[in-house]
Structure 1
Amino acid sequence: MTIKVLVVDDSALIRNLLGKMIEADPELSLVGMAADAYMAKDMVKQHRPDVITLDIEMPKVDGLTFLDRLMKARPTAVVMISSLTEEGADATFNALGLGAVDFIPKPKLDSPQDFNEYQDLILEKIKSAANAKLKTQRTQPVAATPPSLKPNLANRVINTQLLAIGASTGGTEAILYLLQQFPAVMPPIVITQHMPPGFTRTFAERLNKLTRLNVKQADDGERLLPCYVYIAPGDQHLEVIKVGGSFKTRLTQGDKVSGHRPSVDVLFNSVAACAGANTTAAILTGMGKDGADGMALIDQQGGKTFAQGEQSCVVFGMPREAIKRGVIHHVVELPQLADKMLNYLASLKRD
């Protein structure tokens, strides 16, 4: 059964480009191309697409307004096509909050290799979106424990533990929800979320505004501090190393690992090596298997491992792979995950 795809973009060039890419894949069927939201609305009714690629910046009715109406009227898997401007990045995260499954930057096609890489990526994202759980189908976050009732963590825990989180498709909203449940005083947190360059700084700024923690895009060689969250920059691996008695960041542009840069495996492997049993790690929603090897190493070194449960994942690929390896200690749906992690960290002061 082929996946029916509708392309919505006001640029004829982008429409034709995406259309050709989609038509070249036997698993996909291009059912229409719309230049604006009004045409798109009619085509959604007529063709009932499985996936829509949607430009954020459109005349008459912008992509966010159309997305909001679409998700209320006929929830559909949407992949946003985003500009690399700061406004474009902000709008992209708003779109993910409204229920879009994923996003990809507008193509910059300077060479045949760029074209081929972009084609592989957009086709992969469309296929993943077709199998993703939409917002209406997922376990919805419930009222969380108020911050005043969260357990207090011992100073020893705050100063010796390291939290590591990895995610991909659906991860931007899952990470936001998880961090919002954490109190302001936490051990250092390092995060790799699969994301292209140009979006990670905006993502970090968004998290910084919407959580109690201090969130920033990681710089190379900085000391990890309690109450801070460090996000891997797009297109760079984030590792943690131990220098004297401190944990520090290291950014590299080495080869892709598990198909990604930044890679969750690279982060988890480094944390396992330098923090060992003082590691608490969580693998969240995402496509593929990045992070499973790293989780195995954290488990082997005596760290505590958590995975997001299937019902609250947009795509269950990454947690499933780690669970299949037998290296996850707790499988927890997103609404309960922060409390489970905090209760574990609080228990360490009694050891």
Structure 2
Amino acid sequence: MSKIRVLIVDDSAVIRRLLEKFLSSSPDIEVVGSAADPYIARDKLVQLKPDVMTLDVEMPRMDGISFLEKVMQHMPTRTIIFSSLAKTGSETYFRALEAGAIEIMEKPSIDVSQSMETLSAQIIEKVKVVARARINPIKKVATPGTPVQKSTSTSLARTTHQLIAVASSTGGTEALKVFLSGMPANIPGTLVVQHMPPGFTKSFADNLNKMFPFEVKEAEEGDQVVPGRVLIAPGNYHMELYRSGAYYHVKLHQEAPLHSVRPAADYMMKSVAKFVGKNACGVVLTGMGKDGAEGLLEMKKAGAYTVAQNEETCVVYGMPQAAVNLGAADKVLALDKIAGELLSKISAKDAA
């Protein structure tokens, strides 16, 4: 196979040299060029046609996100954002994702607590995954200009007869918007594990809450799972379901990462299989790795209806592919068809 061609865009000569050193240590990667600002990068994109671009946010003459928006319009390129703002500025994080970044990482530092070898291995792995990712495979869902009116139904006082469990990772922030846009105000109680760094899941949930007629919130210990509510697992916490009388609640914990992630969807889905069984639906959306595959299989064995997103609409067909390979998915569907399929199955179960 040909090498993955990478263009490094950063105004810091130190960072450019560090990234080049890391990436060049892999026999599968070739650094074909570097640029100190977006205007130089623009010319090199046209000239070199790299497979992957690494991009800083704070740069002279034009910020990285504005540049990425232009790149994705005129010369779509798989992009990893490396920025010191990725850790502290959640607005920057989400703007980068919406602009088309596939991965966002904190900018490597000389004084990092982890070893250079570990950091190098992480960056190389990210580049390899991003090189296989699809560019802009999903339709963006516009944020409404005026606040969405929430449902005034009394659904929160009722028990949850049906429940949806969703796993997503790379590309999932936009995929979840598409999925949730197909759901009604009285959406069945829904649990979501989206792999995100600590501190960002609350901002993500708050943003979704403004977009849809149902409640979306970062899960808190003991939260009840009810119609009209979507709970998103907090970054760095696993989320599981338990039953108390006629009601379902969530518990949070910090057991060791599973599949190198915390939260892990397998924890959540296996608990849904145990306590909800056939009254649940499970979904695995776009993402790298295999988290959610085993949990989805347990849900299917417990009688739940299970769906995996198809390869054509995934940014990264890792998690859904792992689920399909395990035989965990009853159906494989395009992203924009999943919500309707689940609602149809849930309506049939309610009528039975």
- TM-score normalised by L of structure 2: 0.89
Note the C-alpha offset of 1:298: 0.2
Secondary structure, aligned partner of 1:160: coil
Q: Distance in 2 between matches of 1:204 and 1:105?
A: 21
Contact 2:86 2:104 in 1 (8 A): no
Report what 2:181 is aligned to: 180
Q: Residues 1-351 of structure 1 correspond to what in structure 2 (within 5 A)?
A: 1-84=2-85, 88-107=89-108, 110-111=111-112, 113=114, 115-135=116-136, 138=137, 140=139, 159-351=160-352
Q: Distance in 2 between matches of 1:254 and 1:155?
A: 30
Contact 1:157 1:349 in 2 (8 A): no
Note the C-alpha offset of 1:216: 1.3
Contact 2:86 2:93 in 1 (8 A): no
Contact 1:156 1:349 in 2 (8 A): no
Q: Distance in 2 between matches of 1:63 and 1:289?
A: 31
Secondary structure, aligned partner of 1:229: strand
Equivalences, count: 341
Question: What are the superposed Cα offsets for residues 103-153 of structure 1, whole Å, 9 maximum, x if unpaired?
Answer: 223346655535444333322221111111111xx36589xxxxxxxxxxx
Contact 2:71 2:77 in 1 (8 A): yes
Q: Distance in 2 between matches of 1:192 and 1:343?
A: 23
Q: Which residue identity does 2:90 align to in structure 1?
A: A
Note the C-alpha offset of 1:87: 7.6
Q: Distance in 2 between matches of 1:205 and 1:13?
A: 37
Secondary structure, aligned partner of 1:248: strand
Note the C-alpha offset of 1:45: 2.2
Note the C-alpha offset of 1:100: 2.0
Is the alpha carbon distance of 1:63 and 1:332 closer, same or farther for their aligned partners in structure 2, counting shifts above 3 Å? same
Note the C-alpha offset of 1:341: 1.0
Contact 1:80 1:92 in 2 (8 A): no
Note the C-alpha offset of 1:159: 1.9
Q: Distance in 2 between matches of 1:173 and 1:116?
A: 32
Contact 2:158 2:226 in 1 (8 A): no
Note the C-alpha offset of 1:222: 2.1
Contact 1:192 1:232 in 2 (8 A): yes
Secondary structure, aligned partner of 1:61: coil
Report what 1:151 is aligned to: none
Q: Distance in 1 between matches of 2:131 and 2:259?
A: 22
Is the alpha carbon distance of 1:70 and 1:224 closer, same or farther for their aligned partners in structure 2, counting shifts above 3 Å? same
Note the C-alpha offset of 1:57: 2.3
Q: Which moved more, 1:217-226 or 1:331-340?
A: 217-226
Secondary structure, aligned partner of 2:20: helix
Question: What are the superposed Cα offsets for residues 264-283 of structure 1, whole Å, 9 maximum, x if unpaired?
Answer: 11111111112111211110
Secondary structure, aligned partner of 1:31: strand
Q: Which moved more, 1:303-312 or 1:52-61?
A: 52-61
Note the C-alpha offset of 1:157: 9.7
Q: Which moved more, 1:169-178 or 1:208-217?
A: 208-217
Q: Which residue identity does 1:217 align to in structure 2?
A: E
Note the C-alpha offset of 1:338: 1.1
Question: What are the superposed Cα offsets for residues 179-225 of structure 1, whole Å, 9 maximum, x if unpaired?
Answer: 12211111211111111223222211221122222111112222223
Secondary structure, aligned partner of 1:40: helix
Q: Which moved more, 1:157-166 or 1:193-202?
A: 157-166
Q: Which moved more, 1:32-41 or 1:304-313?
A: 32-41
Is the alpha carbon distance of 1:82 and 1:111 closer, same or farther for their aligned partners in structure 2, counting shifts above 3 Å? closer
Query: CA RMSD of the aligned region, Å?
Result: 2.6
Note the C-alpha offset of 1:324: 1.5
Gaps of 5+ in 2: 142-154
Is the alpha carbon distance of 1:335 and 1:245 closer, same or farther for their aligned partners in structure 2, counting shifts above 3 Å? same
Question: What are the superposed Cα offsets for residues 58-77 of structure 1, whole Å, 9 maximum, x if unpaired?
Answer: 22111121111111221110
Is the alpha carbon distance of 1:175 and 1:109 closer, same or farther for their aligned partners in structure 2, counting shifts above 3 Å? farther
Q: Which residue identity does 2:95 align to in structure 1?
A: N
Is the alpha carbon distance of 1:16 and 1:200 closer, same or farther for their aligned partners in structure 2, counting shifts above 3 Å? farther
Q: Distance in 1 between matches of 2:87 and 2:286?
A: 25
- TM-score normalised by L of structure 1: 0.89
Secondary structure, aligned partner of 1:159: coil
Q: Which moved more, 1:186-195 or 1:107-116?
A: 107-116
Gaps of 5+ in 1: 143-153
Report what 1:146 is aligned to: none
Contact 1:240 1:247 in 2 (8 A): yes
Q: Which moved more, 1:158-167 or 1:308-317?
A: 158-167
Q: Distance in 2 between matches of 1:340 and 1:241?
A: 26
Q: Which residue identity does 2:13 align to in structure 1?
A: A
